[in-house]
């Protein structure tokens, strides 16, 4: 039987990681959010060039989530992910990054 959070719904969280960069956080979400969080993980494993002109070739066309967590290492990908989330009106957390946007939350690490 699935558990629910205090509002009675399961929160959909999508995590973007690059070469395992979010594995510890993903493990914690699975452990502590079991029953209240539906987790989707998008992993980018390719070795990427220093500059990416269009990060959308590595990101999905759409995201269905209540919240996105950005553990990508490549700033160009993070920037394009924030733009995608802004377009889709999905809040995003990119910890420790400096991304100039009112849409992204960038708490210090």
As averages over each run of 10 residues, the pLDDT of the chain (109 residues) reads 59 96 95 94 93 93 96 93 94 81 70
Residue 41 has a pLDDT of 97
Q: What's the total number of domains in the chain?
A: 1
- Dmax (CA) of the chain: 46
Report yes or no on 1 lying in a domain: no
Using alpha carbons only, give the angle 23, 88, 5 rounded to the nearest 5 degrees: 55
Q: Tokens 């990060």 sit at which residue?
A: 55
Residue 2 has a pLDDT of 47
Report yes or no on 4 lying in a domain: no
Report yes or no on 20 lying in a domain: yes
| The model's pTM | 0.85
Q: How far apart are CA 18 and CA 73, in angstroms?
A: 6
Residue 1 has a pLDDT of 38
Q: How far apart are CA 15 and CA 5, in angstroms?
A: 19
Report yes or no on 37 lying in a domain: yes
Report yes or no on 2 lying in a domain: no
73: domain CATH number is: 3.40.50.2300
């Amino acid at each position: 039987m699935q558990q629910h959070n205090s509002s009675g719904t399961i929160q959909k969280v999508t995590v973007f990681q690059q070469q395992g960069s979010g594995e510890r956080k993903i493990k914690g979400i699975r452990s502590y959010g079991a029953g209240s969080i539906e987790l989707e993980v998008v992993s980018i494993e390719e070795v990427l060039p220093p500059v990416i002109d269009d990060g959308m070739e590595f990101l999905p066309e759409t995201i269905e989530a209540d919240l996105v967590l950005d553990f990508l290492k490549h700033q160009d990908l993070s920037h394009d992910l924030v733009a995608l989330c802004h377009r889709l009106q999905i809040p995003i957390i990119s910890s420790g990054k400096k991304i100039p946007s009112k849409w992204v939350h960038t708490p210090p690490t």
